[in-house]
Chain A
Amino acid sequence: MAKLVVRKECLESEVHYGYNGTSLRVVLKNATQEELERLKGLGVDVFEKPDLKEDKK
């Protein structure tokens, strides 16, 4: 799975989200890939768009 990269302007942001019935908080600059995967699954839009050239390879 491609590594998720947070957009530079969002690095200082914090996301408050619901996960498995509980509320969690993550500062994006400190987020692990697992946390970023959860946010992506929720549809949180803070990620770099995948490089098209990379996709072609």
Chain B
Amino acid sequence: MKKLLKYSGYVVGIVLLLIMVFPQFFLPSGVVGAFALAIFTQTCQKNVSGASRIFIAEKSVATAFTITSGEISAVTGTTPFMRVDAMQDSVSWSELGELVGLNNWKITNTIEFDVMPPSKDTNTFLQALIDGSPCGYFAIIQDGNGQYWVVGHNATDIRERPLRLNKQDHKTGKGLSEAEGNTVRITLMNECGGLALPLDDTLNTAMDAGSSTIAKWS
């Protein structure tokens, strides 16, 4: 019995040591905050600013996200993300992280895009955004590098802090020389605790090809 206790003590000690040295093997995948600092290697490649495409879904219809190795590998829903034809070079996404107090970190996502011309159709679109805002939205944004990101969902808050319609701004402008006159600028925002996740290569390719079922194309 003494020997058993002695050896089981060794085993427990070794296991605890392994957990401390290799925590990644003992934590569920996708858990954030569990990453130890490691070398960051920069890839030599083009890096293009801006964003081009935007798709929006109500939180209630995008029912599940599957995350594999830090990327979204599947999106399940009752209705796909809706394509929004925004004006060229009007789409932007900002992900701003800030220290709150000493121990908290807050991330503010801001998505802006312009639609035009103001009409019955833009009114219908805006009213739908106003009506759905209390429950919130998820958005898929394609950045200048062609990478798609899901904004409004993150691995910390899961689905609890979605985007909401923050602002709608329509100004006629003062004359012909005002390029942004008579456009409707729409701003979606959220404050959350985690970083937005990218779509994996398979979903990214399907989105590029316009064949992905997670988005409504026509």
* Chain B residues with a Cβ under 8 A of chain A: 28-30, 59-60, 63-69, 73-74, 76, 153, 155, 157-160
Contacts and interface: CB of A to CB of B under 8 A. Distances in A.
B79 to A, nearest CB: 12
Nearest to B157: A23
B29 A12 contact: yes
A14 B66 CA distance: 6
Contacts of A46: 66, 74
B158 A10 contact: no
Nearest to B78: A43
Contacts of B157: 23
Contacts of A45: 74, 76
A42 B159 CA distance: 15
Among B66, B74, B155, chain A packs the most CB atoms within 10 A around the CB of B66
A17 B63 contact: yes
Contacts of A39: 64
Contact of B64 (A10, A27, A30, A42): A42
B76 A23 contact: no
27 contacts: A10-B68, A12-B69, A13-B30, A13-B66, A13-B68, A14-B29, A14-B30, A14-B68, A14-B155, A15-B65, A16-B64, A16-B155, A17-B64, A18-B60, A18-B159, A25-B158, A27-B28, A27-B30, A30-B28, A42-B64, A43-B63, A43-B64, A43-B76, A44-B66, A44-B74, A45-B74, A46-B66
